[in-house]
């Protein structure tokens, strides 16, 4: 694979990872060098978990210039991440996830960075290419900036509403390259107020497709495949690297059938289309369908929504206390 490395890269590859089993570490040993070599840029990796030391030792062997951090000073992933990212000077931040690998024939990193800068892209979806094809096709038909490697356009509430009719994908997801200030805005915000995911997890930064508080933003996708999830088909059967024979490392437990046609997640996805009118039960009013799905998940929503402000308070108090102790120690 011949990858062009841009000079003076305005991007940092940042990861805040929990590596607690050999499976995750084995995948990281394949995917991490790929992204480091592709960007040829600054790399900052924070590692948590029982295999943190082993992970740090491997990352150091990839390049001695990688900045490695161990553990976490905060209870929330997003609080620790925003603390780290505020100290970075790059204009763009790619969130590294160990289970997403570089495609065999990715776009030129130089061309991609030029697009990010020239079009002032806030969020660039770097993985799930086959999953985002409908979104990409819609962007092509809108007033978008198109280059040889990417499509991007400003999304406001009107365009978002149209996109959701085409395909209700997450536009704010972990598999993204973010404009630094835009990412800080997301990480700093207490939103979403109503949560269905653990506020301590990385997924807490993702925003439901229907959320609009962060708009307008400039959103982009690659024209060709850029990143590939190792072991998750995510509603497009056979799209993972394992299913396509592109991954030759240790096979994760989830394997190529994860999110495939017979998995519970894929069945739930199909049920969503049944509930929301793309089936023979169109006579059920939309409000009733929404109510039914909310009732199913309300215990989780309440639990996580209450946890989030408590964790924010604890993190602020802990940070204030640590700073006070540091100042006392200097005297």
Report the CATH number at residue 16. Answer: 3.90.550
Residue 256 located in a structural domain: no
Please indicate, yes or no, whether residues 63 and 152 belong to a single structural domain of this protein.
yes
Q: How confident is the model at residue 73, as a pLDDT? A: 92
Please indicate, yes or no, whether residues 272 and 191 belong to a single structural domain of this protein.
no
Residue 71 located in a structural domain: yes
Q: How confident is the model at residue 258, as a pLDDT? A: 42
User: Is pLDDT of 14 > 90?
Assistant: yes
Sequence-distant (≥ 6) Cβ neighbours of residue 162 within 8 angstroms: 138
Q: Which of 196, 220, 228 is nearest to 131 (CA)?
A: 228
Please indicate, yes or no, whether residues 69 and 26 belong to a single structural domain of this protein.
yes
Please indicate, yes or no, whether residues 98 and 174 belong to a single structural domain of this protein.
yes
Q: How confident is the model at residue 17, as a pLDDT? A: 96
Q: How confident is the model at residue 331, as a pLDDT? A: 52
As a whole number, mean pLDDT of residues 144-168 equals 92
User: Is pLDDT of 297 > 90?
Assistant: no
Compare 320 and 98 and report the one with higher pLDDT: 98
Residue 3 located in a structural domain: no
Q: Give the structural domain span for 276.
A: 263-331
CA dist 325 → 73, 75, 155, 167, 299 (Å)? 14, 19, 45, 51, 39
Q: How confident is the model at residue 301, as a pLDDT? A: 80
Please indicate, yes or no, whether residues 224 and 294 belong to a single structural domain of this protein.
no
Residue 270 located in a structural domain: yes
Residue 241 located in a structural domain: no
Please indicate, yes or no, whether residues 223 and 270 belong to a single structural domain of this protein.
no
- For 236-291, the pLDDT digits (tens) are 888 899 989 999 887 776 654 443 343 344 444 455 545 554 444 555 666 676 67
Of 229, 252, 281, at which residue does a domain stop? Answer: 229
Q: How confident is the model at residue 285, as a pLDDT? A: 67
Please indicate, yes or no, whether residues 225 and 320 belong to a single structural domain of this protein.
no
How many CB atoms within 10 Å of residue 56?
18
Domains contained in the chain, number = 2
Please indicate, yes or no, whether residues 97 and 52 belong to a single structural domain of this protein.
yes
- For 18-64, the pLDDT digits (tens) are 999 999 999 999 999 999 999 999 999 999 999 999 999 999 999 88
Please indicate, yes or no, whether residues 194 and 305 belong to a single structural domain of this protein.
no
Residue 238 located in a structural domain: no
Using an 8 Å Cβ cutoff, are 82 and 184 in contact?
yes
- For 176-216, the pLDDT digits (tens) are 999 999 999 999 999 888 887 888 999 999 998 999 999 99
Residue 203 located in a structural domain: yes
Phi and psi of 154, rounded to 5°? Answer: -80, 130
Residue 257 located in a structural domain: no
Please indicate, yes or no, whether residues 323 and 203 belong to a single structural domain of this protein.
no
Q: Which of 103, 99, 111 is nearest to 130 (CA)?
A: 103
User: Is pLDDT of 81 > 90?
Assistant: yes
Q: How confident is the model at residue 279, as a pLDDT? A: 43
Please indicate, yes or no, whether residues 17 and 106 belong to a single structural domain of this protein.
yes
Q: What is the pTM of this model?
A: 0.84
User: Is pLDDT of 151 > 80?
Assistant: yes
Q: How far is residue 163's CA from residue 268's CA, in Å, rounded to a whole number?
A: 21
Q: In whole numbers, what is the pLDDT of the chain averaged over residues? A: 86
């Amino acid at each position: 694979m011949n990858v062009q490395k841009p000079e003076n890269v305005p991007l940092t590859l940042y990861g805040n990872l929990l590596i607690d089993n050999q499976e995750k570490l084995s995948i990281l040993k394949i995917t991490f060098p790929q992204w480091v070599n592709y960007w040829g840029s600054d790399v900052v990796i924070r590692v948590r978990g029982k295999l943190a030391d082993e992970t740090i030792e491997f990352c150091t062997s990839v390049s001695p210039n990688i900045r490695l951090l161990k553990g976490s000073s905060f209870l929330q992933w997003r609080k620790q991440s925003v603390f780290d990212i505020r100290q970075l000077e790059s204009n763009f931040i790619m969130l590294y996830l160990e289970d997403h690998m570089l495609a065999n024939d990715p776009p030129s990193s130089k061309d991609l960075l030029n697009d990010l800068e020239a079009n002032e892209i806030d969020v660039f979806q770097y993985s799930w290419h086959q999953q985002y094809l409908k979104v990409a096709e819609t962007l092509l038909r809108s007033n978008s900036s198109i280059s040889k490697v990417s499509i991007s356009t400003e999304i406001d509430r009107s365009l978002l509403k149209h996109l959701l009719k085409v395909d209700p994908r997450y536009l704010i997801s972990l598999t993204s390259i973010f404009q630094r200030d835009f990412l800080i805005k997301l990480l700093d915000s207490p939103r979403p107020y109503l949560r269905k995911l653990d506020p301590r997890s990385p997924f807490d930064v993702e925003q439901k497709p229907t959320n609009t508080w962060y708009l307008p933003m400039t959103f982009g996708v690659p024209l060709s495949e850029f990143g590939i999830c190792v072991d998750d088909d995510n509603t497009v059967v056979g799209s993972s690297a394992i299913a396509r024979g592109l991954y030759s490392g240790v096979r994760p437990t989830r394997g190529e059938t994860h999110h495939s046609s017979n998995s519970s997640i894929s069945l739930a996805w199909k049920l969503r289309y049944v509930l929301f009118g793309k089936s023979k039960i169109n006579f059920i009013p939309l409000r009733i369908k929404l109510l039914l799905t909310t009732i199913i998940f309300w215990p989780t929503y309440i639990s996580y929504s209450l946890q989030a402000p408590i964790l924010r308070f604890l993190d602020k108090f802990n940070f204030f206390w640590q700073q006070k102790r540091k100042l006392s120690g200097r005297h």
